[in-house]
Structure 1
Amino acid sequence: MSKNKLLPILAVLIVLILISYSGKKPEERITVKYTADFNSVFPNPERGWHNRRDVDGRNGDDDRDFSDVRAAGHTLVHSYLRLDDFRETDRIPQSYLDDLQEALDAVRAQGLKIILRPTYVWDEEHSVPEARILGHIEQINCVISANAEIINHLEAGYLGMWGEWHSGRYTELSNKREGDTRYRIVEKILNTTPNTIPIAMRYPMHLREILDELPVPEGSEPLTQTQRDRLGHHNDCFLFNEDDRGTYARKDLWFGDQTLNHQKQYTFDLITSYGGNKIMGGETCSPAIDRIENTQAEMAYANWSEININFWGEAINKWKNRMLPAIGNDPAESEFDRISRKLGYRLRLIDATFPTSATAGESFIISANLSNDGYAGIIKKRPIYLVFDNGTERYNIDLPEVDVRKWVSGCFQLKPQTVNLPLNMQSGEYKLALWIPDAAPKLQRRSEYSIRFANQNLWSESKGYNVLFESVRINP
């Protein structure tokens, strides 16, 4: 054999010898398939049924006890902030604000989040001037901002009966001057609260007015893209009749001659600049649900995240008594149970691919296929971590390129994520997990604020993460 032919063979032999002496084996990667849970109803943060409460002290000590909400498997409460007593005064008393702070402390203690709506009147029209409203917004939002981590979202409120932007001063859509006031009120709410808090508006026409139609009033600034992304919708007469009791009926200005279906499509098409869903919630408004057969379709089209379980009780009972056949991955069940499972997000892990061993200080690559079986995506920004936990040492490795808000309904991929393992990582066997905690440092270590996957035998309630594999070997 010639010398030239021997050289390539010798080169290969040298490489093989070097590999064998290095003591390293080729990385073994496996794909693990996970068992779905298509049936269970379990709590997850920032989604589901909300319980109506009054947290401003008007009903006594029961406003501080939310243990039954958590016991029912719910994670949200909703409260009006009744400002009736302050319609004639420019300043809200500190005692009222202190009482609100006590209530928010109680919400936090129970591992819940809250939806708030300020209102001046219950069953009458009010005439509180704009300047006074803006001053009250600033006071209220000082407390809200200090507790932003447990505010699920705000409903715009302040105007009209029940803060629903109808039947009162500044609510007439065709009045341009009142339109300027509405803009300034929304602008004030946005400017005096953190960008982490979404704002839901009652009527699509007011939402469209602010986002798409109304010229920016003199002295105001155009909304930033982040602020525009924060604005969503709450429908407080869901399925009452063809137009949801006027929710979609006002065609006199921005919607022109568009049909009701076109108006609904406007809300169905609402999406953020980063591709996620906007906040969508509300309630029924009478014992009647004239369009009950549209429940599933409209909740899915509009990406509902939450709804009132206390109002109206008769309407809720109609959902409980209406049986639905199995379809797709949904089992035969009551309409109530299907709503309970699918409100907001319901993340399910299909499979994941990763190595069963790795070396401290070197790279680790993971990818996965998932599905969101809920009506909507995750609304608020959250981190996601790849966790290595051996019971003594726990390493939380951030996946900074992943925005979980983009995980809207349907199947999607967690594209290959390459992370660098800590150089000082202790050798041994580790559980491998995915952890999606709250973004707020105060809440990150509380498992009730972390997201559970809809799979069997993955969730660790004590740790707040989803276990992908029981034993990954880390070599020194």
Structure 2
Amino acid sequence: MKYNLITLFFLSAIISCSSGDNGEDPIDPIDDTVNNITYDASSEVISNPERGFMHLWSVTSEGSPLNLTTLQNLKNENVTIINRVYYLEAFKDSDLSTAELDLISTDFEMLRTTGIKCVLRFAYNSDPNDTDAPLNIIERHLDQLKPIFVANADVIAFVQAGLIGSWGEWYYTTNNLTTLENKTAVANKLLEVFPKEIKIQVRTPLYKQEIFNYSTPIDATVGYGTSDIARVGFHNDCFLASANDYGTYQNVSAEKSYISNEALFVPTGGETCPPTDVPIASCSTAESEMKLLKWTYLNLDYYGPVLQEWRNNNCFTDFQRKLGYRLLLKSATLKKEATTNSNYLLNAVLQNKGFAPIYNVKNSFLVFKSVTDATMYKKALSFDVRRIAPNTDFELKESISLSGIPADKYELFLKIEDSYETLSERVEYSIQLANSSTWDANTGMNKLLHTLTIN
């Protein structure tokens, strides 16, 4: 077949246009089998577990237990944790009494009933002129307390090492407990009597470095495990109070950098103090420090003028949002249909807008709720929510078996619940994502705003 010049010209033009040589990218066809979702962030102050501002409530030997009504009212303050400090001043040379052990057990029951957790500490006095207990008594008391710790690990968020010196701050001591040998003995005993899932906090970064004889921060290969070194974090009881936070730091910049790295895996928290050689911390200074050191909780009761400064300058509420973790959904790409007994791809991006990660293991599920009769099917996810680091995008991409889920239409939910069976179905202990119109307060689940048809 022969073509004249005009025919060849038109053929050339058609081929050129169809191959995209007109200088523009070809338009991809819309895939109507997929739902591309962009989630709206919420500015709400969220009462998530194991983080945020907390009250410090101490009690003397054989004193009054926690009050149920007072604990119930904490939800009005968006408070989910308390710092419970037990002073054992009556037992410096004897075993703990049955009444003291009953007091502690009763407190844990009250916490569980009201949906609260505690940051725990023990001490023998609150006066630098008073005495503390010798090492053998401390170890004996911890042995007595071990069964209570094991039975109530579910409502213990973290443990401040305590026990040594006034207020349990590892400074003033009348029993020579601040030697490296004795500090190590107390730390090791705490690690022994508390379940391996619970993290212990020491008063300064140098204490941990001395006890474990190291200075390079742990990394993910160690940090997500349960070895002793992976279980020790930090509490600072004079945060923002002086150039070195009343001796919390020796080499300030190096030790802050060290905490910043370790706090991806172990918690930092504490309280402020009356400032000495520095002004009351401004909002910007406080935010910068909490972001650097990954603060997860802060005492709401001390030091008052510092907290008031933040209220006066309108950053207190922002700190309520950001202390600890603040997880939210950013986007998701989800198939609209699937077939029974196939695999379904969960493909979402999460962010952490808080100062810190989550430190305690959680169980996560993709939940399928039938549009027809509200029957729910939970499929466990393997991803570790602790790995959602602050200020990063986290890609959650996981294939889930639909085995056992019958054909129907389903709303999809993400549920992040407590790892302890005693708390797993409690809404108060489930994690609410910081998105608009996604939280189901009746079930403790987060809507993915997607309906899946299983054929």
TM over 0.5: yes
Of 109, 113, 120, the match for 1:109: 113
Which one-letter code corresponds to 2:163 in the other structure? Y
With 288-297 and 409-418 compared, the bigger mean Cα shift is at 288-297
1:9-408 matched pairs, under 5 angstroms = 28-37=33-42, 39-54=43-58, 60=64, 63-64=67-68, 65-89=70-94, 91-123=95-127, 124-169=129-174, 178-213=179-214, 226-249=227-250, 259-271=251-263, 276-286=264-274, 290=279, 292-293=281-282, 294-322=285-313, 334-390=314-370, 392-400=374-382, 402-408=383-389
**Alpha-carbon distance in structure 2 between the residues aligned to 1:52 and 1:130:** 26
CA 1:56–1:394 in 2, change beyond 3 Å: closer, same or farther? farther
**Alpha-carbon distance in structure 2 between the residues aligned to 1:109 and 1:344:** 23
CA contact (8 A) 1:69 1:75 kept: yes
Q: CA deviation at 1:422?
A: 2.1
With 107-116 and 406-415 compared, the bigger mean Cα shift is at 406-415
Q: CA deviation at 1:435?
A: 0.5
Q: CA deviation at 1:154?
A: 0.6
Q: CA deviation at 1:359?
A: 1.8
CA 1:127–1:411 in 2, change beyond 3 Å: closer, same or farther? closer
Instruction: Kindly indicate whether residue 401 of structure 2 is the aligned counterpart of residue 420 of structure 1.
Output: yes
CA contact (8 A) 1:54 1:63 kept: no
**Alpha-carbon distance in structure 2 between the residues aligned to 1:31 and 1:283:** 43
CA contact (8 A) 1:429 1:473 kept: yes
Match of 1:371, SS? Answer: strand
Match of 2:262, SS? Answer: coil
Q: CA deviation at 1:75?
A: 0.4
How many residue pairs end up in the alignment? Answer: 409
CA 1:430–1:171 in 2, change beyond 3 Å: closer, same or farther? farther
Deviations 1:19-39 (A, max 9, x none): xxxxxxx992222111111x2
Q: CA deviation at 1:128?
A: 2.0
Match of 2:239, SS? Answer: coil
* Aligned-residue identity in percent: 29
Q: CA deviation at 1:129?
A: 1.8
**Alpha-carbon distance in structure 2 between the residues aligned to 1:371 and 1:170:** 48
CA contact (8 A) 1:238 1:284 kept: yes
Match of 1:237, SS? Answer: strand
**Alpha-carbon distance in structure 2 between the residues aligned to 1:386 and 1:435:** 6
* Structure 1 stretches of 4+ moved >6 Å: none
Which one-letter code corresponds to 2:395 in the other structure? L
Deviations 1:255-289 (A, max 9, x none): xxxx4222322222215xxxx43111000122777
Which TM-score applies when normalising by structure 1? Answer: 0.82
Match of 1:53, SS? Answer: strand
CA contact (8 A) 2:343 2:400 kept: yes
Which TM-score applies when normalising by structure 2? Answer: 0.85
Match of 1:369, SS? Answer: strand
Deviations 1:272-324 (A, max 9, x none): xxxx43111000122777251321111011110001001122221111112xx
Structure 1 residue runs without a partner (length 5+): 1-25, 215-223, 250-258, 323-333
CA 1:230–1:62 in 2, change beyond 3 Å: closer, same or farther? closer
Q: Which residue of 2 aligns with 1:327?
A: none
Which one-letter code corresponds to 1:421 in the other structure? L
**Alpha-carbon distance in structure 1 between the residues aligned to 2:265 and 2:73:** 30
Deviations 1:360-404 (A, max 9, x none): 21110011112100000001011111110125311110112x111
CA contact (8 A) 1:287 1:313 kept: no
**Alpha-carbon distance in structure 1 between the residues aligned to 2:275 and 2:245:** 13
CA contact (8 A) 1:70 1:110 kept: no
Match of 2:238, SS? Answer: coil
**Alpha-carbon distance in structure 2 between the residues aligned to 1:415 and 1:114:** 30
CA contact (8 A) 2:242 2:275 kept: no
Structure 2 residue runs without a partner (length 5+): 1-30, 216-224
Q: CA deviation at 1:55?
A: 5.5
Q: Which residue of 2 aligns with 1:21?
A: none
CA contact (8 A) 1:27 1:355 kept: no
Which one-letter code corresponds to 1:74 in the other structure? V
**Alpha-carbon distance in structure 2 between the residues aligned to 1:356 and 1:170:** 68
**Alpha-carbon distance in structure 2 between the residues aligned to 1:444 and 1:458:** 20
CA contact (8 A) 2:368 2:410 kept: yes
CA 1:43–1:102 in 2, change beyond 3 Å: closer, same or farther? same
CA contact (8 A) 1:122 1:162 kept: yes
Match of 2:227, SS? Answer: helix
Q: Which residue of 2 aligns with 1:255?
A: none
CA 1:56–1:28 in 2, change beyond 3 Å: closer, same or farther? farther
